[in-house]
Amino acid sequence: MIELKTSAEISVMQENGLLLAQTLHALCKQVQPGRTTQFFDDMAEALIRDAGGIPSFKGYSGYPATINASINEEVVHGIPSPERRLEEGDVFSIDIGLVRDGLHVDMATTVGVGQVDQTARRLMDVGERSLWEGIEQVKIGNRLSDISHAIGTYVELAGFYVVKEYVGHGIGKALHEDPQIPNYGPPGHGPRLRPGMAMAIEPMIKVDSMATRVLADRWTVVTGSGGLSVHFEHTIVLTENGTVVVTLGGDEKA
């Protein structure tokens, strides 16, 4: 069942979204060769707790960390480690969430470490743009699958592939709520979008068409070919006055 948010809940989610955007922006500023993924996890947890929040991911279904720290072929759910260091040319995906006053927000981005090659740069550009293609379909009266179709079509026309095994989701009092939001499919299906709906839209895209697989740690998802993958996400709330991207910070442009 899709749970519609009240105006008071939307206000809290907007406050939380700004806090999370500021946190992720601070992490991205620290990305450089030689940093461990654990460095970013420790920093993220400290910033979230200092802001009065609680990391949404830590302890969720047993997940041991504050962020997902996924590098290159790792699609999502990469576990931070004091041994794993960023290297020049890597693409580094950070997925992060917080809960405060009983309401969750969730976001992700992928950044290049130093100088990245042309394929990596283009994959990141297409991944980020595909997120906005989906967000542009968040309008009262549209169907849920209009979001999915916009993302998948944009990615496919660019010559890349969406990850089909993992999807976006509703969000609010729980980190994952109804509805599920795939990043592919035909338009015009699913529930109509209504004011009060909150969702985390998150295209994960890759260079190959192979199925993903999960590593022995039971968390880290990697591409089938070992090729690159990127991940972008925002938390969105639909109101009577239009779409609010609650995780859009002041340093980012729509």
DSSP labels, the chain: -PPPPPHHHHHHHHHHHHHHHHHHHHHHHT--TT-BHHHHHHHHHHHHHHTT-EESSTTGGG--SSEEEEETTEEE-PPP-SS-B--TT-EEEEEEEEEETTEEEEEEEEEESSS--HHHHHHHHHHHHHHHHHHTT--TT-BHHHHHHHHHHHHHHTT-EE-SSS-EEE-SSSSSEEEEE-S---SS-SPBP-TT-EEEE--EEES--SPPEE-TTSS-EE-SSS--EEE-BEEEEEETTEEEETT--TT---
- Compute the average pLDDT of residues 105-118: 98
Binned at pLDDT 50, 70 and 90, residue 254 comes out as very low
pLDDT > 80? residue 75: yes
Q: What is the CATH number of domain 7-245?
A: 3.90.230.10
**Predicted confidence (pLDDT) per residue in 19-74, tens digit:** 999 999 999 999 999 999 999 999 999 999 999 999 999 999 999 999 999 999 99
pLDDT > 70? residue 250: no
Kindly list the domain boundaries of the chain, sorted by start residue. 7-245
What pLDDT is recorded for position 249?
78
pLDDT > 50? residue 9: yes
